[in-house]
């Protein structure tokens, strides 16, 4: 069951979780400030809890967005076009579910339509809907691809994500500039090696960059 309600969150186990009040969220921020060694009552931090909760509303708005609904409107007047459609370098900002640190990167999407296409802005919106949640990049890649495959019913879908994980670049091993690449190929992209190669060449084949 998917729940898209600003007062309700649904996790992957389908448990319905009520959203805490804004006051409770702000108090949680004050607790974290004290834990970090700060005084939440000093002048510069007085409005920080409000700012943080407002920012969370932007960073995690994907929980109240339905990617499937975004793909419902399609267009059939394409004069029989049945070749690959590719939208590349879609910038996304997400947050890793292990450390809540940013994941910044780009997504590349390709699909082969049957008789209908979807507006390209909708592809970017689907990426954002999944990115604006706590994520694992491998899971996010599969979610985007499967949504497109299920709703559009194309002959094939290809999704490649590149991302720099700040949980690795700003903490832990401290390795900035490292990019993680994940891919999901469905339908003809999985079955046809030459088609998959054409897609990777079109997006610049991130697997071979720097080689």
23 flagged as catalytic: no
CB 94 within 8 A of CB 113: no
167 flagged as catalytic: yes
98 flagged as catalytic: yes
Dist CA 185 CA 196 (whole Å): 8
Chain centroid to CA 191: 25
The catalytically annotated residue of 137, 143, 162, 166 is 137
The catalytically annotated residue of 38, 65, 97, 164 is 97
165 flagged as catalytic: yes
The catalytically annotated residue of 98, 138, 153, 191 is 98
The catalytically annotated residue of 26, 96, 108, 162 is 96
The catalytically annotated residue of 38, 93, 146, 167 is 167
Dist CA 109 CA 157 (whole Å): 8
108 flagged as catalytic: no
99 flagged as catalytic: yes
Pick the closest to residue 87 from 122, 137, 139 (CA basis).
122
Tokens of 207: 């697997």
The catalytically annotated residue of 135, 162, 165, 166 is 165
The residue to which tokens 């007085």 are assigned: 46
The catalytically annotated residue of 93, 99, 188, 198 is 99
DSSP string of 146-168, one letter each residue: HHHHHHH--SEEEEEEEEEEHHH
What amino acid positions are annotated as catalytic residues? 96-99, 137, 165, 167
């Amino acid at each position: 069951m998917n729940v898209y309600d600003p007062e309700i969150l649904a996790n992957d186990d389908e448990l319905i979780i009520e959203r805490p009040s804004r006051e409770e969220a702000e108090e949680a921020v004050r607790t974290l400030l004290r834990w970090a060694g700060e005084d939440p009552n000093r002048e510069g931090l007085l409005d920080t809890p409000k700012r943080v909760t407002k920012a969370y509303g932007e960073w995690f708005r994907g929980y109240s967005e339905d990617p499937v609904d975004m793909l419902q409107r399609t267009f059939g007047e394409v004069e029989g076009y049945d070749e690959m459609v590719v939208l590349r370098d879609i910038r996304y900002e997400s947050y890793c579910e292990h450390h809540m640190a940013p994941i910044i990167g780009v997504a590349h999407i390709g699909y082969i339509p049957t008789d209908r296409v979807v507006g390209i802005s909708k592809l970017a919106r689907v990426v954002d809907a999944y990115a604006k949640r706590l994520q694992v990049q491998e899971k996010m890649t599969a979610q985007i691809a499967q949504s497109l495959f299920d709703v559009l019913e194309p002959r094939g879908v290809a999704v490649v994500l590149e991302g720099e994980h700040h949980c690795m670049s700003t903490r832990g091993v401290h390795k900035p500039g490292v990019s993680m690449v994940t891919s999901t190929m469905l339908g003809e992209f999985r079955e046809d090696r030459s088609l998959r190669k054409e897609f990777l060449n079109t997006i610049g084949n991130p697997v071979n960059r720097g080689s």
